Amino acid sequence: MFGSLTKKFQELSVALSREKVLTEKNISEAVRTVRLALLDADVGYSVVSDFVKKVKEKALGSVSVKGVTAGDQFIKVVHEELVSLMGSEESSLQLKKPVAKILLCGLQGSGKTTHAAKLAKMLKEKFSKNPLLVALDLQRPAAILQLETLGKLIGVPVFTIPGEKNPLVVAKQVLKEGGYDLLIFDTAGRLHVDEALMDELLHIKKIVEPDEVLFIANSAAGQDAVKTAKEFDCRIGITGSILTMLDGSTRAGAALSIREITGKPLLYEGIGEKVDDFRLFNPISMADRILGMGDIINLVKKAEEQFSQEENDDLEKKLRKSTFTFDDYLKQMKMIRKMGSIKGLLKMMPGMGDLPDIDQSEKEFARIESMILSMTQGERNCKDELVPSRRRRIAKGSGTSMDEVNKLVKGFKQLLKFAKLMPGLKKKFSHEEASSLFSKR
Ligand SMILES: Nc1nc2c(ncn2[C@@H]2O[C@H](COP(=O)(O)OP(=O)(O)OP(=O)(O)O)[C@@H](O)[C@H]2O)c(=O)[nH]1
Ligand SMILES: [Mg+2]
């Protein structure tokens, strides 16, 4: 996702792993690399300056732990600060009124209409809401049609007044509608922030009195998206942001600085054009992805949703009792593969960050499969430890490299560690626990 930034962090971790302890000198060098990497990823200057200052102070104050490399220790600090920069915890919508109202705003093409539908679908399915989509982008007839098509797809009605060109009239009228407990307003976008747009939004906001005003931020726009968010916040007052287009060639600028600059939470992320390509924004998971740890939290969540309860119970028991083996890992991967969207899911596995296409994902899966199949039964059952000579044999047998075998074993161990945290994972997944992944692998 954040290819070059992730690569730089990984290179830094490797470089630092040669050092026994963190010293003022190697910290200063590492901090300089972090600064350049973040600036290059289009993170705002002031955010970067604050960030590296905190990382430096924390790294200098950290006590070295036996068995932990300087690289792991430093990356752990970076991880903690990334999480904190993005808001520490998942945020939720504050929908308090009996008829809740969400107003979406943002520049042209940022994903407002698509995300109005994604939000409606999610709130309907997961929170049993009865939503009504309201078309307030009345400049182009195609805009209403787009919302209506999406509405049909997700089974949510769309409110329009045929022939009406004034969004304020529609906004006033829809408030008289009964039978819904949630109104989601899709508004018009502009190429740039301009007076007419801000005036229109301000008027709509006054009429609607929304519970939430969400800024739809196109993550591909990097710093520009952050600046625009700030302008929208100053002019109309936003309550949070949704980060879209995270599936494309995106830079980390928006993800890392939008919350810090606006002071408003990042609530959701859009990861594709389809109505289900949508999930809660999780700062820990995002930090994992930025550092190239693989998105284990989302993997576990998605797996939990989709596995049959029986299969899930069985795997969870094994995971918790630490009797989960490479054979189970293979079985789990096969199940995941069955669930479809192998690309999206594989991306979440540790060490599989940047997969250019589905064929590539299939290839990655085949490599993992051949590595596991090249193990002896004892190795697959985790009875025999995978010492270097064994790893070398596995690499040779599967036509892969030592590096790849090491990556597989590391990913497997991370999965086991996360699994132990699973009972409280959804709600209580603490920062410390996530960070401990770095310290004892
Ligand atoms: N890849 C990807 N495409 C997206 C995402 N969200 C929206 N899109 C696509 O981006 C394009 C623009 O999205 P819209 O939802 O129409 O954007 P908008 O903000 O309503 O645009 P205007 O109404 O013109 O201001 C559409 O083709 C969407 O299918 C996303 O998260 N990822
Ligand atoms: Mg639109």
State the pLDDT at residue 323: 74
Question: Vertex 133, ends 127 and 137: CA angle to 5°?
Answer: 145
Find tokens 């820990």 and name the residue.
Answer: 284
Going by alpha carbons, the residue nearest to atom 6 of ligand 1 is 111
Q: Show the ligand 1 pocket: residues with CB < 6 angstroms.
A: 106, 108-114, 137, 143, 189, 216, 244-245, 247-248, 270-273, 277
- Which domains can be identified in the chain, with CATH numbers? 3-85 (1.20.120.140), 100-281 (3.40.50.300), 296-439 (1.10.260.30)
Which ligand has the shortest distance to the CA of 106?
1
The pLDDT mean for the chain works out to: 83
Which of 105, 108, 113 to mutate for ligand 1's pocket (most ligand atoms within 8 Å of CB)?
Answer: 113
Q: Which atom of ligand 1 is least distant from the CA of 190?
A: 25
- Reported as a pLDDT band with limits 50, 70 and 90, residue 145 is very high
Question: Vertex 417, ends 411 and 421: CA angle to 5°?
Answer: 135
**pLDDT tens, residue by residue, 272-282:** 999 999 999 99
Distance, CA 355 to ligand 2 centroid (Å)?
A: 30
**pLDDT tens, residue by residue, 67-117:** 667 787 788 888 889 999 999 888 989 998 889 999 999 999 999 999 999
By the 8 A CB rule, do 246 and 118 touch? no
Q: CA 170 → CA 145, 166, 179, 211, distances in Å?
A: 16, 7, 17, 18
d(CA 120, CA 138) in angstroms, rounded, equals 20
Which of 1, 114, 146 to mutate for ligand 1's pocket (most ligand atoms within 8 Å of CB)?
Answer: 114
Q: Is 65 helix (H, G, I), strand (E, B) or coil?
A: coil
The answer to whether residue 344 scores a pLDDT higher than 80 is no
What the block records as the tokens of 325 is: 């083996």
